[in-house]
Structure 1
């Protein structure tokens, strides 16, 4: 482990200062639980101002909403404990569903509102008349912590989020350059490539949440627009490069003669990808030269009637797209870093502009339902036991179930929550009974807190330590229960503070019982859903629906790739998932092209689309990938021949290496249809399309 950096120490010092300020003000105001103000600072603080502000705002809104619900629900239901437990569980589950259905920072509002209700309402059942005062003081304590964290974080050496965005994208650029260079060399399988593919998808997924916080960083509107455009281009690069791989492998592998000039062009593209990101003017000029060279290699209309000509045209078309997307990514990254300049997009496609996202609603409902069941069962056990302090057990069980509901395998994280909460109990006991009896004023209290909290604070910014260190800081502050006068009873301390670990242990057992499955089930559901969308892509929805369908499929693929990490090295399921996406995108291109072609061509395209639809319907019905029927390959070859001879000439299928007579392709729709048909053939029949070779046999 590397030692904390200067930035880590600065963040820790700022957070500790804000927490002590909040604690001091809460003690002076004689708030009933001043330690909640201190704990809130550690909950909302982030090394970046924008992230702290967004979390602070959403925590305030969520707390007020949950507190209002407590005031609303406690008086009418407190006399019916089991009904009251069900109301609390249902509220928490409903808000949890809304939270995990939103992948932006705004989800924190619903998350907080969900578990704030049990935190306030359950301790109030013994004194329902005081629930309003409890809700008010809880809100005041949390708002005080939020204000202190925001003021100190924004006034003392504030760290902006935009530079961090550039740092993260630079890591993505390095992985993307490696991935593209390997693909252009004909390698699409292997552990390094698989790992790069997973990191690329993970970075794109993380940026979605990060960009939702950028607006709170005082970023200009044009920077926000460019940041979202950059993420969109980053998301597109993976499937476009994947689509380029198949025709390149078919052209460069095997015994067939390689097209003249293609290998040199690919080598120059590889060199261009290695160009420094800062030297954008030279890169722009080189990109223009590469596009000109791509155009000069484009086969003539007569050559497109051969399989080799169609392959070359498809490869060059995809290569130009890769160049365009990479140039856009470079330009956007530089504009964001410099915060000035104009951008003219190079990559333009009808699929751009979709805003749909994919959510597995079934799994989301199940996750929220599991939390509802945990809260109700825990509440029932508490009621039947008669344990006065059992409300804390139910509250922390609710918090744990909410925190990790979006994970495929939440049980390990819930258990970590339990372990670090136990550590906090021990640390709080050490402070309460050994250290605090010797503290006589607030200055000495600050000194006693400084060493452990400053050390813990340096680890909070690190993702691998964030959960553990935040829990230690927050729970230790809460379990000590600092008041204006020292008061400690060992039995009372044990009775109240062991309730939390007991609730977390119950949450772990419950989660292990109700959610024993992991990423494999989630991946299988995502795969089946992608097959269903391939079926939809063979229809002819309006243009806006097509864009949203494409955006949803791409978003789902970014979710699927990290989940396939465990099996990707030996079974290559992500490669198959990319092929499914390419089939869908090419089917969408076909549905658009067929509107502008003749009746004969449209009929042959419809036959292909019907075959694709039937194949994927079989996969959905049998819940596993099925062999592609040979009749579909025949239909694709017939459609290729029909497209290539659309202006007259024979009706023989276009077979690999066999020319079709009287070929000419002057019309753009026919060329688009040709590229889409070649893409579908390469995706569904890689073995018979020349895609497999010595380096690709495992991947096929």
Structure 2
């Protein structure tokens, strides 16, 4: 376990100061539950200003929405317990579905609204006339806490998100350079390469939330725009490298005469990638662009002429050079943007990579899994309410409330049960710590300064672990639950029986939530990965069908996003038929299918008919995969259709459009049939 850094200590002290300020003001204003203001500070606080500010804003909005729902539901339904329980569960389910349908910071509004309603509504069932007062007080306490968290975080040694974005992407670029070097060197499989792919995908996924918080950080609008452009291009780099590795592997194995010259420009490109990554201070946007231009000139000298394009050597060399151009343009954009963000440079950026597929905005969501997760949470809350009602446990509302919180918090995980159990153990530790304070420490406290002193050591120590990902959940829950269970009021009042009964209810509720999720959601990441793979086949079927260009852009966006979600879910090994490698090949087939759809309208009629046959065979192949529920070997009919279209694309002097079609067909052939002999010899054209 690494020792807390100075940044961790600063965060912890700032958070403690904000929590004590919130508690003092709540006591000063005589709010009914001042401890909620203190707890809210720990929930909203983050080491970075933007994350804290956005979470504070959305927590206040979510609390207001949940409070309004409680005020609306309790009076008319409290006399019908079954209907009341169902209404609470459905409300929570609807809000939860909306929350997991949004991967930005705004999702917190719906998450809070989902579990705030039971936190307010359930304790007021015996006295429904108080629901408005409870809702108003909770909103005031939560708002006070998040305002204190935001003000302290922004005014005392504020830490901005933009430099952290630069640091995280710097590590990603190191992985990307290694991956490019390995893949373009002919090593497409292996555990180390698989681990690198997983880290790259996980970083891209994590940046999505961070980007949604940048605008709350005071970051300049041009930096926000550059960060979004960088994120979009980062997700494209993996497939681009894979698409270049395929023809390079075949080219090197064929022993063709141009191998030495092509290998030299590939090595030059890799050296440029490594140099721009490793020495950012020596490479401003102008020197990066100049280096890219020199590489593009070198590629141009190797372009095969029209006669050579009729040979396998010409087709492969042209495909390699085309993909190299895309890789250099994409890296130029990515590294220029990364340097601009890290160095906070005020410079105009013009993209070098301008592929037609850019511009799609549609992410991938597995709506089936999302609906199932939501229904599981609804069932948990409804059954917990029924058990509470049937037992007549007076303090059972606390257990139902915590069960709802746990189900909401972890619904988006593939396997939520371990995290729910961690919630349970953290809460148990908080009960013990709170008990020590209530019955041993607090009787000796007579003023607020003494209370601050006695709180300082444990809360500051726990706070240093919150920024560390491995301990973040457990330590945040310990801090929040301890603050809540101590239940600081303006006057000291303790009753061991009441303390034990109310907190035992919460532990029982969390244990029920754990058992419920263990039973209803035992599938883990394997089911999610399998469904993602199968949904990718359905997208490939759609990609091979006619669509408007905007729909095609969104398909490409969805394909990239799906791959980034899939890779972290797959284990790594040294196998060459690993699902991650197969999925990358599926993606390349899909992207080349979209390229053919884009190009078909511009080519001559004969080639258009040949492309249509390829699209038909792609569609039929993946329809068979969907029908069988497993990946099948592509058919010989698809291979024959690709070869026939390749023949048609080079049997007359090709223009730029036909070259693009040829590149897509070559890449599709290599992705679908990686070990199939070439369709023609190095000195002859494709046979009809």
TM-score bin, normalised by smaller chain: over 0.9
Q: Is the 8 A contact 1:579 1:683 kept in 2?
A: yes
1:357 aligns with 2:363: yes
In structure 2, relative to structure 1, the CA distance for the partners of 1:484 and 1:470 (3 Å cut) is: same
Any idea what SS the aligned residue of 1:617 has? Answer: helix
Alpha-carbon shift at residue 567 of structure 1 (Å) = 6.2
In structure 2, relative to structure 1, the CA distance for the partners of 1:114 and 1:409 (3 Å cut) is: same
Aligned length: 673
> What is aligned with 1:672?
660
Aligned positions of 1:597-608 closer than 5 A: 597-608=603-614
> What is aligned with 1:469?
475
> What is aligned with 2:348?
342
Alpha-carbon shift at residue 253 of structure 1 (Å) = 2.3
Alpha-carbon shift at residue 539 of structure 1 (Å) = 1.8
> What is aligned with 2:72?
72
Alpha-carbon shift at residue 8 of structure 1 (Å) = 0.9
1:293 aligns with 2:281: no
> What is aligned with 1:392?
398
Any idea what SS the aligned residue of 1:628 has? Answer: coil
Deviations 1:638-685 (Å, cap 9, x if unpaired)?
A: 11111111x3xxxxxxxxxxxxxxxx21x1111111011101100110
Give RMSD over aligned pairs: 1.3
Alpha-carbon shift at residue 255 of structure 1 (Å) = 4.9
Worse-matched range after superposition: 255-264 or 310-319: 255-264
Q: Is the 8 A contact 2:190 2:573 kept in 1?
A: no
Alpha-carbon shift at residue 32 of structure 1 (Å) = 1.1
Aligned positions of 1:381-530 closer than 5 A: 381-530=387-536
> Residues of 2 paired with 1:433 and 1:639: CA distance?
82
Any idea what SS the aligned residue of 2:671 has? Answer: helix
> What is aligned with 1:684?
672
In structure 2, relative to structure 1, the CA distance for the partners of 1:86 and 1:594 (3 Å cut) is: same
Any idea what SS the aligned residue of 2:102 has? Answer: coil
In structure 2, relative to structure 1, the CA distance for the partners of 1:296 and 1:120 (3 Å cut) is: same
> What is aligned with 1:241?
241
Q: Is the 8 A contact 1:567 1:573 kept in 2?
A: no
> What is aligned with 1:133?
133
Alpha-carbon shift at residue 689 of structure 1 (Å) = 4.5
Q: Is the 8 A contact 1:249 1:690 kept in 2?
A: no
Of residues 548, 557, 562, the one that matches 1:551 is 557
Alpha-carbon shift at residue 604 of structure 1 (Å) = 1.2
> Residues of 2 paired with 1:40 and 1:168: CA distance?
28
Aligned positions of 1:194-209 closer than 5 A: 194-209=194-209
> Residues of 2 paired with 1:277 and 1:634: CA distance?
48
Aligned positions of 1:100-139 closer than 5 A: 100-139=100-139
Structure 2 residue runs without a partner (length 5+): 680-688
> Residues of 1 paired with 2:389 and 2:677: CA distance?
67
Worse-matched range after superposition: 54-63 or 552-561: 552-561
Alpha-carbon shift at residue 493 of structure 1 (Å) = 0.7
Question: What TM-score comes out, normalization by structure 1 length?
Answer: 0.95
> Residues of 1 paired with 2:575 and 2:505: CA distance?
44
> Residues of 1 paired with 2:167 and 2:520: CA distance?
40
> Residues of 1 paired with 2:638 and 2:2: CA distance?
56
In structure 2, relative to structure 1, the CA distance for the partners of 1:9 and 1:690 (3 Å cut) is: farther
> What is aligned with 1:265?
265
Alpha-carbon shift at residue 258 of structure 1 (Å) = 5.1
> What is aligned with 1:225?
225
In structure 2, relative to structure 1, the CA distance for the partners of 1:539 and 1:570 (3 Å cut) is: closer
1:377 aligns with 2:389: no
> What is aligned with 1:90?
90
Alpha-carbon shift at residue 486 of structure 1 (Å) = 1.2
Deviations 1:326-348 (Å, cap 9, x if unpaired)?
A: 11011111222323111121111
Any idea what SS the aligned residue of 2:280 has? Answer: coil
Of residues 551, 564, 568, the one that matches 1:562 is 568
Question: What TM-score comes out, normalization by structure 2 length?
Answer: 0.96
Q: Is the 8 A contact 2:288 2:336 kept in 1?
A: no
1:19 aligns with 2:19: yes
In structure 2, relative to structure 1, the CA distance for the partners of 1:217 and 1:129 (3 Å cut) is: same
> Residues of 2 paired with 1:690 and 1:13: CA distance?
66
Any idea what SS the aligned residue of 1:459 has? Answer: coil
> Residues of 2 paired with 1:628 and 1:570: CA distance?
17
> What is aligned with 2:315?
310
Deviations 1:87-109 (Å, cap 9, x if unpaired)?
A: 00000000000000000000000
> Residues of 2 paired with 1:109 and 1:339: CA distance?
34
Structure 1 residue runs without a partner (length 5+): 648-663, 692-700
Q: Is the 8 A contact 2:32 2:137 kept in 1?
A: yes
Any idea what SS the aligned residue of 2:669 has? Answer: helix
